[in-house]
Amino acid sequence: MSSEEQNTGWSGGKNAFGDFAPGMVHYTDKVLFDEVWEREELSKRDRSLITVGALTALGKMDQLKFHFGFARQNGVTDEELKEALLHLAFYSGWPNGMGAMSVLKSIIEEES
């Protein structure tokens, strides 16, 4: 598949950094989201769950806010996210699980 066929039109890196960090924009938009996320070997839903798990384990709460929304777009339900975070708390540390659950709770409450 050529890079033109893989182009999803993702512009999150460009939106975040504009001309400030062209390398970060390129690797975010063209490599990560146009190439890695579009690989057929895993569904986007599975990739979202893996990403949420990794970000939770690493304590990257800022990035989780975006990835919870992306996971929901990719078909992961709020109940599945809650259960994944409960499970992750035992493997990634209770503070990381609690922090991630707080981020998810705030997202859900903002929508209510």
Domain match, 33 and 47 both: no
Domain match, 73 and 20 both: no
pLDDT at position 4, please?
44
Count of structural domains within the chain? 2
pLDDT at position 7, please?
66
Domain match, 32 and 48 both: no
Domain match, 19 and 69 both: no
Return the CATH number at 60: 1.20.1290.10
Report residues of the chain scoring pLDDT below 50: 1-5
Domain match, 32 and 65 both: no
Domain match, 49 and 27 both: no
pLDDT in tens, 17-41: 989 999 999 999 999 999 999 999 9
Domain match, 53 and 90 both: yes
pLDDT at position 1, please?
41
Domain of 101?
A: 43-112
pLDDT at position 6, please?
53
- DSSP string computed for the chain: --HHHH-----HHHHHHTTS-HHHHHIIIIIIIIIITT-TTS-HHHHHHHHHHHHHHHT-HHHHHHHHHHHHHTT--HHHHHHHHHHHHHHH-HHHHHHHHHHHHHHHHHH-
pLDDT at position 76, please?
98
Domain match, 27 and 48 both: no
pLDDT at position 110, please?
97
pLDDT at position 10, please?
78
